Amino acid sequence: MNHDIFAMAATVSLLLNACVASTQEMTEVVGQETQSSSELQVVSDGTRPIPCERLLQPVGAEPKRQPTARSLRPAQDANAWLVDTTYVLDGGPGKDGIPSVDQPEFGTVEEVDRQTWLTDADLVVGTVIGGEVRAYPHPIMDWHEIVNDQHGAEALAITYCPLTGSALVWNRVIDGQTTTFGVSGLLFNNNLIPYDRASDSNWSQMLAQSIHGKRAGTAAETFPVIEMNWKMWKALFPDARVLTNDTGRDRPYGRYPYGAYKVSDTLLFPTSRDDRRLHRKERVLGVRSGSSSKVWVVADFPAGGTVVEDRVGDAEIVVGGACDGQFATAFLRTLPDGTRLSFRRSEMPLPILFADDEGNEWDLFGRAVRGPRAGQQLVHADSYVAYWFAWSTFFPDPEIASF
């Protein structure tokens, strides 16, 4: 058994011990109601919302609040960290102990669906570049966290942190230089810290910014991403290319490596904040605009899909999601030409999600597929899905949307 297997085993052992300890402390607490300071305008087809089952375990005892982390500040010393190193911790496996996938292999939906390591309930990270749709299954991302891919003309790093439930896609071209990213073995507030192999700088995945090294303070260029369960994905995108388990590594891809972590209320490492308004592992779509932040609970979107118009800071946005597909996504209502559209739920089946007051139909990637603006693209809001504890730690005191 090689070094990276031993390292992963050590991390899993620590995590399982933490989960067991927390489970012993669990109390029978019913999920608390959350309220928003402003009401949303829910625009649907008028049918009664269909709820989805929640699988999260009960919430544990209230922990003591920890010190607040310092915010990012401009880089002055290339050797200095731009975040509070109290919460920069060694995850256990060491640098590249969790190996990135650097030569990804892809198959068809039909080919991958015949294999047993991917189930209908598993999530995939989805992208569309140049019209080509690709999916990166969580059962692979859980074990590797980073895939260095070439998607058409774009050099991309698909990143997923199992501990914070966050997926972001970055451009691997930085200051004109193409690089690859690896797993540093470090975590900030439980979140993945990738490093770029060109400069050896460390980056915060959820902040999408280098926080240590020669590139400290540099922001990553991100691409839109959507997560969805495999059952819905394969029905909506049968022609997608799917990352296969041919990674060059021997991993039990059909087995989640972190025990009950993603449904328990426990964390592996301390965080700078601990907002208890929601279950720590509730998946939320977070949207940022300036200093404002707001979240939508993915499980609160009714089955079949709902469209919501709302405002975050100065940004007027439209949000769509469906709990049966476990997805949510957000776009700006204002187009690049300055036109502001009003949206409702399209009467067409998914993947068409949005309809506007000009007669256009838009899919869940924000592409106009019918109408006078066919071929145009909505501007993606500054948003992605993460666990509640992670979003509220990195972007404190977010407003929680209510339906």
Average pLDDT over residues 4-10: 45
Burial category of 279 from C-beta neighbours within 10 Å (exposed 0-12, middle 13-18, buried 19 and up): buried
Q: Which of 63, 8, 38 is nearest to 389 (CA)?
A: 63
Give the β-pairing of 306-312 and 41-43. antiparallel
Q: Which of 164, 169, 120 is nearest to 262 (CA)?
A: 164
**Would you say how long the chain is, in residues?**
403
pLDDT at 54: 73
Average pLDDT score over the chain = 87
Give the global pTM.
0.85
- Of 34-48, 239-253, 332-346, the range with the lowest mean pLDDT is 34-48
Q: Which of 400, 347, 390, 355 is nearest to 373 (CA)?
A: 355
Average pLDDT over residues 214-231: 97
Structural domains of the chain, ranges and CATH numbers in brackets: 37-55+276-400 (2.102.10), 85-243 (no CATH)
Structure tokens given for 243: 């990352």
pLDDT at 210: 98
Report percent pLDDT > 70 for the chain: 82
pLDDT at 5: 44
The 10s digit of each residue's pLDDT in 331-355 is 999 999 999 999 999 999 999 999 9
Q: Identify the band that residue 199 occupies on the pLDDT scale cut at 50, 70 and 90.
A: very high
Distance CA(211)–CA(228), nearest Å, equals: 30
Q: Which of the pair, 400 or 24, is modelled with greater confidence?
A: 400
Average pLDDT over residues 153-179: 97
pLDDT at 72: 44
